[in-house]
Structure 1
């Protein structure tokens, strides 16, 4: 960040195929109560998202520094964000999505959380879910505990992290480790932040989170796929995601020679958990049943994976077709 940077916070509003929602998302960003740098960036959408964004902000004259841009080619979420992290000037990056609605106090509340806790490197929040038309669905949905560190991920046994749409990070989370090495930006950024310190999930809902069947998360987990191949698609995509996350965090650990022995051991266990989950799912998809035993045994040795691994052991006893495979 330049020593003369005017804004502490850079809002990175990423969009893809968001023609119908981008204007409202921009209005929500511009309604922030704290002046900030706002970068609206379209990931080379095949529709009119970029043109709509340009028209919507034409003649803007307000307290924020506003930039509207488009990637030269489609990058995907992680590469898109990496590009924006390198462009942004703030010391805090607040991520917004082109189909969600940030509350006006989101930037101010997020900055205050960082300022109050120098050891915190990632901040998320509970969210209020809305449908495609903007009608409320669920309120106060929480994806993480109020405070967490590396030890949480070792105990939790689920590979969930802060929701990308609610995520904000300190600049160091990018600068220390470089561009993201995979598509799962929320997992990687949350875990990188935990390597450096701790994370928070605020009790205050700061966004209306739109439940979009075409979102990256819904695509990866095949949540709206009713086809017979749903189970296979979900497992194939999560295997790739988990391995990518493990690769990124392993490389990030290598860039922290000063990491103390206890925290290094926790971080290495997190990498191991992601690899066990990837190996277990891969074995279930394509390998003979005897090859399931290795990942199941390794999982049983990790407290957070014991329940999942025990359930997989039971699957050894039932036909593969019972859980969606031929």
Structure 2
């Protein structure tokens, strides 16, 4: 889209609050979405079939909202899990740029505006920013967190292997990326690990240097698992699912753009096979 077309027909940005069992924190995430300064903006409030009042709060706040943004409500009839929910989001969203926000994270008012301005220039498949981190009580702890320096030198091969990529809470995604690669088909992975590789593979990843999200670190961690052996097994399965998805995405990319990155594929396959053996208890 040319600059002239964008000025006469501004692109819609989709800002999505996706939540599950977050009745204690989702109000803040929704209000941060309502406070966004970018226009035109559609705000999707999507609940993954929570058993608490998460969706009721979404309904209440949507009904009371009187601002300029378009509000859309969605409640999944059954729990889809993170990957299923993310896939659905690409089907629901009308915007060319999708900005996700978890139900316990807070976005700065100009998050959508700054990200769209960066997106409009370079049309990346994925963007990330630094974050502020907060504890369970909502207090900001430490300084600004970023992995920009860590991922700056990543080759395609490194991106195929690493499980440390961007900070997913700060990410934004292009609808075009989904049009090319399709949905994530490995439910055991994380979307940030998949989308980072997709963007790097296409040469369309962008880091935006301004911190735009306050991220609440929490939930079940590997360290909190009662059985350490089970925790290790879960980590292996996560890696297997991630690298299987990356292999599929590599083949999709090569098929669509006729770019033969077989060195990256060759580097990925042995790792998948090795981890599959480890998961199955075979050495």
Q: 1:7 to 1:115 in 2, by over 3 A?
A: closer
Distance 1:59 1:239 in 2: 45
Distance 1:148 1:110 in 2: 19
Q: Which structure is larger by alpha-carbon Rg, 1 or 2?
A: 1
Q: Could you state the TM-score of these two structures normalised by the residue count of structure 2? A: 0.86
Counterpart residue number, 2:269: 272
Counterpart residue number, 2:92: 87
Q: Which deviates more from structure 2 when the two are superposed, residues 181-190 or residues 194-203?
A: 194-203
Q: 1:5 to 1:237 in 2, by over 3 A?
A: farther
Structure 1 counterpart of 2:22, from 18, 21, 34:
18
Question: SS at the partner of 1:179?
Answer: coil
Question: SS at the partner of 1:33?
Answer: coil
Gaps (5+ residues) in structure 2? Answer: 1-5
Structure 1 residues 12-161: aligned runs within 5 Å: 12-35=16-39, 36-118=41-123, 120-145=124-149, 148=152, 151=155, 154=158, 158-161=162-165
Q: Which runs of 4+ in 1 moved over 6 A?
A: 3-6
Distance 1:270 1:61 in 2: 53
Q: Give the conservation status (yes or no) of the 8 Å contact 2:106–2:213.
A: yes
Q: 1:270 to 1:42 in 2, by over 3 A?
A: farther
RMSD: 2.6
Q: Give the conservation status (yes or no) of the 8 Å contact 1:121–1:173.
A: yes
Q: Which deviates more from structure 2 when the two are superposed, residues 101-110 or residues 155-164?
A: 155-164
Distance 2:159 2:72 in 1: 42
Counterpart residue number, 1:322: none
Q: 1:146 to 1:12 in 2, by over 3 A?
A: farther
State the Cα distance separating 1:196 from its structure 2 match: 2.0
Counterpart residue number, 2:223: 223
Counterpart residue number, 1:245: 242
1:123-182: CA deviation from partner (whole Å, max 9, x where unpaired): 011111101110111221113438748616528964212222111111111111111112
Counterpart residue number, 1:208: 214
Name the structure, 1 or 2, with higher relative contact order (CA <8 Å, separation 6+).
2
Question: SS at the partner of 2:223?
Answer: coil
Q: 1:128 to 1:269 in 2, by over 3 A?
A: farther
Distance 1:6 1:113 in 2: 14
Q: 1:128 to 1:169 in 2, by over 3 A?
A: same
State the Cα distance separating 1:190 from its structure 2 match: 1.3
Question: SS at the partner of 1:223?
Answer: helix
Gaps (5+ residues) in structure 1? Answer: 292-326
Question: SS at the partner of 1:255?
Answer: helix
Question: SS at the partner of 1:73?
Answer: coil
Counterpart residue number, 1:234: 231
